[in-house]
Structure 1
Amino acid sequence: MIKAVLWDIGGVLLADPKIGEFWEDATGSKELRHKFGSGKISKEDFTEKASAMLNIKKNEFLDKYAKAYYPITKINPVVELYNKTKCKRYLFSDTNPLHLNFIKTKYPEIFENANGLFLSSEIGSRKQDEETYRLIIKKLNVKPNEILFIDDKQSVLDIAAKYGIKGMLFTEPKTLNKNLAEQGLV
């Protein structure tokens, strides 16, 4: 029986922004985003290094970064399912602090309806890191097979499965509704 559902934010509850497209080819950008997303470097260090990497001013980088992120919208049918979940629900995301502030301001109800948060920038590891799942199991204080993780990336669901956490790949709202209903979760 599922006692806790981990919901991804970007790509599941909210449309996934194409935030990295304007600088994804810059050497070292992926590693820099990973460090920032897992809380290993500050916002100031991130913006300084990113703007230097692109050879632009910090405020120009932040402006481009914001413009790439602000069109984000919530996926209403999925948010409705999230709100109807019949067990505890947790947000589990690699969302970095810049994104997080935007999301909390624009969509506060997503956070208000969560029983807890597992945010990479706060826990110090990301979904690709195996220690993340050990931490979640410990914090939730339930058996791994009593946790369901909903994400749009099979690769992270596969990592979670190594620890006994059940995964559900999100592809579209109708299928998610059917799968959650089959498990008695909505």
Structure 2
Amino acid sequence: MKNIIFDFGDVFLNLDKSATEQHLQNFGISEFDHETIAVNKKYERGLISTEAFIQFYTEKFQSLDKNTFTNAWNSILKNFPRHRLDFLQNLKAKNQYRLFLLSNTNALHIQWVKANISQYEDFKSCFEGFYLSHKIHLRKPDASVFEFILNQHNLKAKETLFIDDTQEHIESAKCLDLQTWHLNPKTDDVTQLFQQKHLHL
């Protein structure tokens, strides 16, 4: 194993994946229809602006204004435990693996992270390649996003470990012959990498 591609949310940054939905229920929004899901995915790929994204929600759901929606949207984001950054910095210092980040995220979430997670820049500097879906206009689980990173850095799939908390993303990576670790945020911690995957430092 020569390369490791990490996910961000629920691997390093703790999430509450039901929080946004719960917040929106307070405004009478019980579920996302196909149109809303499609807009969310477009925003995650950076294909529409933050202004257009917020406008879509506030026009579609009259009970929302810009602030209430933004707060609800960002409520999924929680905290970044320090021990995970320490682990990553130690891993980088050993210089045994090439390290990459691949995250499905969006401009509003990253804006919140930059404002609220003090170690964000230190975290970002640990990676040779730092790929956010809204910046590269590609998102998991599409095969094209994995192929993009492999090609960009001349990586061999079989020498590359991909770590993610979402089964659908793991299955897509497996189809391209990447090694995988489906991390369960309820029972696993990224710092257990070397126990879980029998890698060596």
Bucket of the pairwise TM-score, normalised by the shorter protein: 0.7 to 0.9
Are the equivalent residues in 2 in contact too, given 1:12–1:75 (CA < 8 A)? no
Are the equivalent residues in 1 in contact too, given 2:20–2:76 (CA < 8 A)? no
Between stretches 6-15 and 102-111, larger displacement belongs to 102-111
Structure 1: which 5+ runs fail to align?
none
Are the equivalent residues in 2 in contact too, given 1:128–1:156 (CA < 8 A)? yes
Please point out which of 64, 88, 98 is paired with 2:72: 64
Provide the rounded CA distance (Å) in 2 between the counterparts of 1:76 and 1:170.
18
Please point out which of 179, 182, 185 is paired with 2:196: 179
Are the equivalent residues in 2 in contact too, given 1:82–1:89 (CA < 8 A)? no
Name the TM-score, length of structure 1 as normaliser.
0.86
Provide the rounded CA distance (Å) in 2 between the counterparts of 1:10 and 1:52.
29
Please identify runs of 4+ aligned residues in structure 1 that moved more than 4 A: none
Give the superposition deviation at 1:48: 0.4
SS in 1 for 2:130: strand
Name the TM-score, length of structure 2 as normaliser.
0.81
Whether 1:20 aligns to 2:20 is yes
Match of residue 103 from structure 1: 113
SS in 1 for 2:20: coil
Please tell me the residue identity of whatever aligns with 2:195: K
Provide the rounded CA distance (Å) in 2 between the counterparts of 1:39 and 1:176.
31
Please point out which of 51, 58, 61 is paired with 1:51: 58
Match of residue 170 from structure 1: 183
Match of residue 162 from structure 2: 149
Provide the rounded CA distance (Å) in 1 between the counterparts of 2:90 and 2:147.
27
Provide the rounded CA distance (Å) in 1 between the counterparts of 2:53 and 2:10.
23
Provide the rounded CA distance (Å) in 1 between the counterparts of 2:132 and 2:143.
15
Match of residue 27 from structure 2: none
Match of residue 81 from structure 1: 87
Are the equivalent residues in 2 in contact too, given 1:104–1:111 (CA < 8 A)? no
Please point out which of 25, 34, 47 is paired with 2:41: 34
Give the superposition deviation at 1:69: 4.2
Please tell me the residue identity of whatever aligns with 2:3: A
Structure 2: which 5+ runs fail to align?
25-29
Provide the rounded CA distance (Å) in 1 between the counterparts of 2:192 and 2:100.
20
SS in 2 for 1:89: strand
Q: 1:29 to 1:177 in 2, by over 3 A?
A: farther
Aligned length: 181
Match of residue 93 from structure 1: 103
